[in-house]
Amino acid sequence: MKEFKKTSPPKWAERFLSWYCKPSLLEDLQGDLNEYFERNVKTKGSLRAKLIYVADVFKFLRLYTIRKPELINLLINWIMLRSYIKTSGRSIVRHKLFSTINIAGLAISMSVGLMMISVLNDVFSYDKFHKNHNRIYRLISQYEYLGRKDNDYMATTSLKAAKAIQETFSVPEDVAILKREFDGDVKVDEKIIPLNGFLANPSVLKTFSFELLEGNAITALKEPFSVVLTEKSAKKLFGNDEALGKVVTLKDKQYTITGILKDIPMFSHIKFDMLGSLSTLEIIAKDDKGEMAWDNIWNTWVYLLLPANADLKDLKVSLDQLSKKEDLTIKNTHIELALQPMDDIMTGESLGNQIGPVMGRSMLWIFIGLAFVVILSACFNYTNLSIARSLRRTREVGIRKVIGALKSHVLGQFVVEAVLISLCSLVLAFFLFVFLKPFFLTIEPEIQKIFVLNLSPVVMLYFVLFAIFIGIAAGIFPALFFSRVNPLQVMRDFAARSGFKKMTVRKMLIVFQYSISIIFITSTVIIYKQYKHFVSYDLGFQTENILNISLQGNKAAALKNELNQLSEVKEISQSMIVTSVGNYWGTQMKFHTNPHDSTGVYYNIVDENYLPLHKHKLLAGRNFIAKADSSKETEVIVNEQVLKRFNIAEQNPAKALNEFVTVDGKDMQIIGVMKNFHYGKVNDNVSQKEIILRYSNTEARLLNVKIQSTDLLSTYAKIEAIWKKYDPVHPFEAKFYDQQIDEAFAGMRASVKMAGFLAFLAICIASLGLLGMVVFTTETRLKEISIRKVLGASEAGLMYLLGRGFFVLLGIATAIAIPVTYLFFDRILFQEMANHAPISVGDLSLGVLSIMTIAFLMIGSQTLKVARTNPSEVLKSE
């Protein structure tokens, strides 16, 4: 016979077979499969033979081949539980340092895990209080003009689509319509309360499970000029008096209260203070054709209640037919309609025009991903240290096995130990979680609107399950390792160094942990630097000590007079919007040289004090001059970019004066040209915008108050007091300009906090792991070190010997992490961000340096300790 190179079936499949198969059938079956395998190797090649072997192993998994569970084994595990807990407890107490490292590391990472659980719990609790939540779908729409599609779907759709579905579709049981712009100051007698709400059709109360306390759900929103209040807003308006049937005034219209709703639950993605009847709109906006236009998809949210067995594909076809028909009414426009299950709203794709704040799928995944990385890192620590210390425990395992413990018993013991440690960590993690919760919630105001992170018994149960899961995940590898210990070898030769075989894996784990830590901390540094860079960016005008007060509909003049009485107030100007924080107002502009070229320009409406107060630089011409309120708009100040865009007077500011441009159909004279400044947010993509300033004394929405005072807070309080006298209804809304710019970058600030926090955790965990490894290595090499010392090695030489390996690992981690971070920011994140600061070597090395310092201190202190021990002490005890 010819000699064949010996190939053997996949080990794991063999093991799986012997695991499940009845012992009485096992040998024969193994033999048969082997015979087939050998035959297949010759005829079909080793790869296919292996595949067939694996397939056969699974095919033989039948009722008659399966091993019956051996009850006695389970029973023994149960009886031995006390012994396991006892020995585990002793081992935890004996190795205080390692146990502390393990428990602390796990606790830190588990607190993030707990945060994740409660966030997930919150997110998935949304809208579940609606009885029909899984049958409600939201109609979403995508705008397409001249074949150019918008990136995202809108959560809103047109009123026209809603009505068409209501009238012509037979499938939906109900069509609930909510429309924007039912908010404002609600007046009753002398009281004025600002409330937010929607116009709603009667189906809203039927489709959703908002509980109506008073009134009739069917008729409450039927008649025009009806309003349904929530309990809270009714209380605000009427105190404890009966509200039903009373009349309130909103925007000069009288509404009758026809119902009182129970307050909207926290976990509703739709939140409001009141609902007005949609039929009101037909009376108010009777002549407004725009309301019913097919392409007016920006103001209406539509929810369909579908039967449980509804065919969504069918419905989508009908929707496509509808939009095909209606597209004909608007030129060059296509509106794509689609359905989104309500249960997906909180965690779904990003849509424009959401009815309230949502978490979004990508955020959710990033959050879960980061939490997972941190938890994994801590589990690695546990695995790493347990296997490293195996030397000390293998004897115990050996004796257990000699006495008669089976593999499964040892496995059970070490898993129980890991779960025990993880439950200890849970207690610690829980306190950490409670401590961290308020910080998390206040990272960004938006977060507070979405999450409460309440601790319900269910969440607690999840916590415990999570801890058990982590325990098993962290303990399974050490447990498998111990269960394979060969008792004979261990008992004969104490130095059976099987624990060291896994050295490469352990090195990889350390590299992984440190790469993650360096990535986190470097990202934090980079984002922080960008944030600082944007906040202190030279916008082209001054923002210092300017308090922007929202007028909230009040007349500017009277308030100005009162404020001017204060000695701290230096100047006051008026404007319509705050620039450089992400507000954009646009209009169309033309220049006479090319009457067909009309371009969008951004504008702000200001008064004569605005330019000097903000120290905008005029290149030529003059500022506005105060005019009577009733005078016509005839003058405009433009920036350099406007001259460039329209090529006015060959872009010469001085010559451009007195030229006329057409804005909003009005001819206006350019009276001044100002230097370019940042109208939008600094990190906005379009760097230079065409900006014009227009003059009006009456259209101001804001007062810009320049304050000269050493105590800004007390001045703020004084101004607030004046406001309260002046307008007792609306709460004072005022912010310093710098603060507003800061808030415009709140997302970035939140990222810095989050990334910083995670970096801190990752470093803690990695450091703990490294410390454990260093202590372990130095301890096991104590004898070697002592002998070297006796032979004349120097302390420095010994420290180098011990620490070298670790520094190589840290070096590798750095070599991996730095390019990854750099490429991520440079190629992915900063591609979309204008005006960002460059990433410097300093940013990249700062994080590495700090981590290296910590690592160096740990390695140094431990190796020094060993290098300094008296060799005779160690060698004496041989």
Partner 1 sequence: MKGTNLGEFEELVLLTIAAMVSEAYSVAICDDLSKKTGRDVKLGVVHSVLNRLEEKGLAKSKLGEATSTRGGKRKRYYTVTNAGKVALLTAKELRDQYWSIIPEMKLKNI
Which stretches of the chain bind partner 1, using CB under 8 A? 8, 25, 27-32, 34-36, 38, 56, 59-60, 62, 64
User: Whole-number minimum distance, CB 26 to partner 1, in Å?
Assistant: 9
Q: Least separation, in Å, of the C-beta of 44 and partner 1?
A: 15
DSSP state, residue 352: B
Long-range contacts of 795-802 (CB under 8 A, 24+ apart): 795/864, 795/867, 795/868, 798/863, 798/866, 798/867, 799/860, 799/863, 799/864, 799/867, 802/774, 802/777, 802/778, 802/859, 802/862, 802/863, 802/866, 802/867
With respect to partner 1, which residue has the nearer C-beta, 7 or 669? Answer: 7
The DSSP symbol for 190 reads T
Smaller CB distance to partner 1: residue 31 or 600?
31
Q: Which is nearer to partner 1, 56 or 174 (CB)?
A: 56
19 vs 64 by CB, closer to partner 1: 64
Task: Tell me the C-alpha distance between 452 and 118, whole Å.
Answer: 9
Q: Could you tell me the smallest distance in angstroms from the CB atom of residue 60 to partner 1?
A: 6
The DSSP letter of residue 498 is G
CA distance 335 to 322: 10
Find the shortest distance in angstroms from Cβ 64 to partner 1. Answer: 6
Angstrom distance (rounded) from CA 34 to CA 49: 10
Q: How far is the CB of 27 from partner 1 (least distance, A)?
A: 5
Beta carbons within 8 Å of 586's beta carbon, 6+ residues apart: 600, 601, 602, 603
**Smallest distance from partner 1 to CB 30, Å:** 5
Residue 754: name the closest of 466, 347, 349, 363 by CA: 363
**Nearest distance, CB of residue 106 and partner 1, angstroms:** 44
Give the nearest distance from C-beta 84 to partner 1 in angstroms. Answer: 37
Separation of alpha carbons 57 and 29, rounded Å: 9
Q: CB neighbours of 522 closer than 8 A, spacing ≥ 6?
A: 817, 818, 821, 843, 844, 846, 847, 848
SS3 386: helix
Q: Are 602 and 762 in contact (CB under 8 A)?
A: no
CB of residue 488 to partner 1, shortest distance in Å: 23
CA atoms of 430 and 114, how far apart (whole Å): 8
Select from 230, 224, 178, 226 the least CA-distant residue to 199. 178
Measured distance CA(732)–CA(724) in Å, rounded: 7
How far apart are the C-alpha atoms of 363 and 750, rounded to whole Å?
13
What is the smallest separation between the CB atom of 154 and partner 1, expressed in angstroms?
A: 57
Cα-to-chain-centroid distance, residue 611: 39
Please report, for the chain, how many H helices and E strands are present, in that order: 28, 24
Distance (Å, whole) CA 746 – CA 736: 15
CB of 43 to partner 1, least distance (A): 13
The minimum distance between CB 62 and partner 1, in angstroms, equals 7
| Cβ-based nearer residue to partner 1, 58 or 124 | 58
Q: Residue 152: CB partners within 8 Å, gap ≥ 6?
A: 142, 349, 350, 351, 352
Closest approach of Cβ 407 to partner 1, in Å?
Answer: 22
Please tell me what DSSP assigns to residue 826: I
CA distance 809 to 773: 12
Q: How near is the Cβ of 489 to partner 1 at its closest, in Å?
A: 24
Give the nearer residue to partner 1 in terms of CB position, either 1 or 791.
Answer: 1
What distance separates the 2 farthest-apart alpha carbons in the chain? 113
Cβ(218)–Cβ(258) below 8 Å: no
Q: Of 39 and 149, which has the nearer Cβ to partner 1?
A: 39
Minimum distance from CB of 48 to partner 1 (Å)?
Answer: 16
> Is 60 or 225 the residue whose CB approaches partner 1 more closely?
60
End-to-end Cα, the chain, rounded Å: 58
Give the 3-state secondary structure percentages of the chain, helix then strand then coil, rounded to 5: 55, 15, 30
The neighbouring-strand residues paired with 668 are 661
Structure tokens at 521: 């901390």
- Residue (14 or 633) nearer to partner 1, CB: 14
Name the residue among 387, 410, 384, 413 with its Cα closest to residue 486.
Answer: 410
User: In this structure, is the dihedral angle defined by the CA atoms of residues 247, 249, 253 and 258, taken in order, positive or negative?
Assistant: negative
Pick between residue 25 and residue 619 the one whose CB is nearest to partner 1.
Answer: 25
Question: How far apart, in whole angstroms, are the C-alpha atoms of residue 237 and residue 234?
Answer: 5
CB 708 within 8 A of CB 689: no
At its nearest, how many Å lie between partner 1 and the CB of residue 52? Answer: 11
Strand, helix or coil for residue 598: strand
Rg of the chain over Cα atoms, rounded to whole angstroms, equals 36
Q: What are phi and psi of 688, to 5 degrees?
A: -110, 125
Tell me whether residue 33 or residue 429 sits nearer to partner 1 (CB atom).
33
> What are the φ/ψ torsions at residue 338 (nearest 5 degrees)?
-150, 170
Closer CB to partner 1, residue 8 or residue 564?
8
Residue 62 or 148: which CB sits closer to partner 1?
Answer: 62
Beta-ladder partners of 199: 179, 276
Nearest residue (CB) to partner 1, 30 versus 545: 30
Q: How far is the CB of 345 from partner 1 (least distance, A)?
A: 50
Q: Which two tokens stand for residue 304?
A: 């369909």
Give whichever of 29 and 171 is closer to partner 1, judged by the CB atom: 29
Name which of 59 and 827 has its Cβ closer to partner 1: 59
Place of tokens 């910590």: 854
Residues pairing with 665 in the sheet: none
Q: Please, what is the minimum distance in Å from the beta carbon of residue 39 to partner 1? A: 9
